[in-house]
Structure 1
Amino acid sequence: MRPHPAMPPILVSHPVFHTPRHTGRHPLAIRRVGALIDVLHALKWLAPDQYCEGEAASREMLLAFHDGAYLDALLQANDPDCDQTLLREKFKIGTLDNPIYPGLFERTSLLIGCATLAADLALQKRTVFFSAGGTHHGRPDRASGFCFTNDPVFAIKHWLGKGLERVAYIDFDAHHGDGVEDEFFDDPRVLTISIHEQKRWPNSGVASTESALNFPVQKGFDDQEFSLLLRKEIHPALNRFKPEAVLVMSGADALQDDPLCGLALSIPSLRNAILSILDHAPIRMIVGGGGYNPWNAVRLWASLWARLNAFPIPHPLPDEVRAILEGLEAPRIPKDRVRPEWLERLDG
């Protein structure tokens, strides 16, 4: 990746994302963003001027994508007197995938405020990483697939509103980026590209069009196959489109040993693919996305941040970093299945 001289990358976040809100056996009842911040601080990789906190998006901002009735439902979700059946059946709020938790509307609004800030900072031609983002299944009128909103859509809309004419969205998540594709399906200014596991929820993204390229891949899809797909399909498509801006969904659930998915990429392979996409445009933004093995997600994002800053990755890891990784838990990964390398290195 060609870095911008004297323009260090920026990490956008907010303390509300540093603690998981889901509980029990929900796949997102895991600590990822907060652990990433802890690791970066432990390694002294996060300078104060490289960290920015966003503010909650206004209702007017949220209406750029969401229906007013859906926003009202989100706002009322924590009211014990609201119609929970209506929330579940009409808006998919309060389902097993999309459970209600305290501060749901606040967290949703902050997600979009941070995504908009990240997109705006990227316009300064600085690479921006919003690790809490990546809610690519969210719909205008309902929640979907753990997503109450769709921050990539808001980021892209912000760029289009600022006059950009060629925006590329590249989704490496193991699940098809259906919400983003559908929102921009008829907009020639936006190219969406999704590499995802076939026969995996949401069971879409089978066919391609000129502006929506889909690459469903088989379970066990590995580094060698990934490299070939990038070289033969993804980079040529971006070269033809010539984007002014790229938004990359990092998708740590595409890594080997994810409890929900069956792809088999390594951290260096996925990280280097993300970096290679950034070379296609001067305006660059990365969001986190899926990843239900917290050890993998944190290590991918930390090693990505290291490469963005040209930091050497230590091996073995300092004791403080090991302690952070050892403290992680996942409801779907028993402690006896935690591999030693998950605690010992960021890039393997």
Structure 2
Amino acid sequence: MRFIGSEIYRGSSYGPTHPLRVPRVPTVIDLSRALGWLPPERYLRSPRAKPAALTRWHTPAYVAALQKAEADGAVSEEVRVRHHLGTPSNPVYPEVFRRPATAAGGTVLGASLILRGHIVYNPGGGTHHGLPDQANGFCYLNDPVLGLLALRDGGAQRLAYVDIDAHHCDGVDYAFRDDPDVLLISTHEARRWPFTGGLEDRGAGNVWNVPLPRGAGDADMAAVLVGLILPRIEAHRPDAIILQAGADAVAEDPLSRLALTNGALWSVVAAIRDLGRPLMVLGGGGYNPWSVGRCWTGIWGMLAGHDIPDRLPPEAEAILRGLSFPGHRLGKAPPEHWFTTLADAPRGSSVSPVVRDSLSTLTDRARIWA
């Protein structure tokens, strides 16, 4: 069991008005240590991926442009247009190369570790929108793609990638949609950017998307877990699994309109862990500092075999009380349980007819393709 982290995330921000202005990975590290869940022997400092490793999928010109953007602190109009750097979504900030390269290095390292028997958690990873020659959707590099390629390089042929972020994993889909040896499963909010990942999309036959309706809750995710995720993984028999567990599907996130609790995400993590296959869990989206910190800390607790406490100890509570959410209404009067607990109260006790119909459609498709 290994937690891959880095101090590069502490104090690093995309800018004062960007959704990624909030702390995320440092909160998870600090909470996990305050709870006694992160002894030194389980923590690994993430390496920074070298350009040669990044060009396993990204173009050399793009990697060079990203390095130059960090060195110069700005980009030309030509680079902005070609590589989508220096845009409102993908701004140039002081660690614009080092930070995503560190996330990618952690995921590539994690791939080698899970093939040696470890379960790995890299909450700084999960940047699933990145494209070969462009930044996309806050993602400058695509560490899940690089991790899947590293698994291939390590001898794992049949792979599974499961993504429960609120946004469809368009970059990973771009890389592997035509590879039948890679199982791609994505749950994401319907009719939300990047507007890909339709129910009918099959790729080479192994792409399975469940667009969730606005307001989807815990029962919907449980139904997808039992009705699609676990059966598809079992049928595929992967040599290794990467799970992207973006916290933006949690109800209080400002960039989605889903209504999941963090417990719904934890249930997916626990169920996939219990399959007993090599597993790496990544972070991803999550733009409310309290909900993402609580959710991702609970994921590490689940992976490391700890019980979630009913009430946090004072040291952990102080970390959550020390967070702020400037410029957003959710930061004005946070509810008390965001400071004192990790687990959300369950919500969403019935399965949406939309989700029920989607699962029926996908079950019929699986039967036809069997």
TM-score of the pair, normalised by structure 1: 0.94
- Report the CA distance between 1:170 and its aligned residue: 0.3
Deviation by residue 1:184-236 (Cα, 9 ceiling, x = unmatched):
11212211110000110000001331211111110001111211122112211
Give 3-state SS (helix, strand or coil) of 1:195's partner: strand
Task: Please list, as runs of the form range in 1=range in 2, the aligned pairs for 1:27-176 lying within 5 A after superposition.
Answer: 27-80=19-72, 83-176=75-168
Residue 291 in structure 1 maps to residue 286 in structure 2:
yes
Match of 1:3?
none
The CA deviation at 1:291 is 0.8
Aligned mates of 1:102, 1:81 — CA distance in 2:
7
Deviates more, 1:182-191 or 1:129-138: 182-191
| Change over 3 Å in CA distance of 1:182–1:99 after alignment to 2 | same
Question: What code does the residue aligned with 2:318 have?
Answer: A
CA contact (8 A) 2:112 2:154 kept: no
Question: Take 2:144 and 2:71, find their aligned partners in 1: how far apart are those partners?
Answer: 28
**In the alignment, is residue 335 of structure 1 matched against residue 331 of structure 2?**
yes
Which stretch of structure 1 is more off in the superposition, 107-116 or 192-201? 107-116
Separation in structure 2 between the aligned mates of residue 315 and residue 278 of structure 1, nearest angstrom: 23
Q: How large is the Cα RMSD of the aligned pairs?
A: 1.5
Q: Distance in 2 between matches of 1:198 and 1:205?
A: 9
Asked whether the equivalents of residues 242 and 280 of structure 1 are also in contact (C-alpha less than 8 Å), the reply is no
- The TM-score with structure 2 as length reference comes to 0.88
TM superposition shift of 1:325: 0.5
| Contact residue 115 and residue 155 of structure 1 kept, 8 A | yes
- The amino acid that maps onto 2:58 is H
Deviation of the 1:22 alpha carbon? 1.6
Change over 3 Å in CA distance of 1:316–1:94 after alignment to 2: same
Q: CA deviation at 1:10?
A: 0.6
Q: Is the CA contact (8 Å cut-off) linking 2:165 and 2:244 kept in structure 1?
A: yes
SS at 2:332 equivalent: helix
* Structure 2 match to 1:5: none
Report how many residues are paired.
340
Once residues 229 and 109 of structure 1 are traced to their aligned partners in structure 2, the CA distance between those partners, rounded to angstroms, is: 33
Report the Cα offset of residue 158 of structure 1: 0.4
Deviation at 1:288, TM superposition (A): 0.6
Runs of 5+ consecutive residues of structure 2 not aligned to the other structure: 345-370
Secondary structure at the counterpart of residue 192 of structure 1 = strand
Q: Which range is displaced more, 328-337 or 215-224?
A: 328-337
Tell me the residue number matched to 1:324: 319
How many angstroms does 1:256 deviate by? Answer: 0.8
Shift of 1:313: 2.4
Q: Which whole-Å CA distance do the structure 2 matches of 1:262 and 1:320 have between them? A: 32
Query: 3-state DSSP class of the match of 1:77?
Result: helix
Q: 1:339 to 1:69 in 2, by over 3 A?
A: same
Give the aligned residue type for 1:193: I
**Shift >6 Å, 4+ stretches:** none
Quote the offset at 1:243 in angstroms: 1.2
Which of 229, 233, 240 matches 2:235? 240
Unaligned 5+ runs, structure 1: 1-8
Shift in Å at residue 282 of structure 1?
2.0
Q: Give how far 1:160 is off.
A: 0.7
Tell me the distance in 2 between the aligned counterparts of 1:248 and 1:344: 28
Distance 1:83 1:132, change over 3 A: closer
Alignment of structure 1 residues 221-236 onto 2, 5 Å: 221-236=216-231
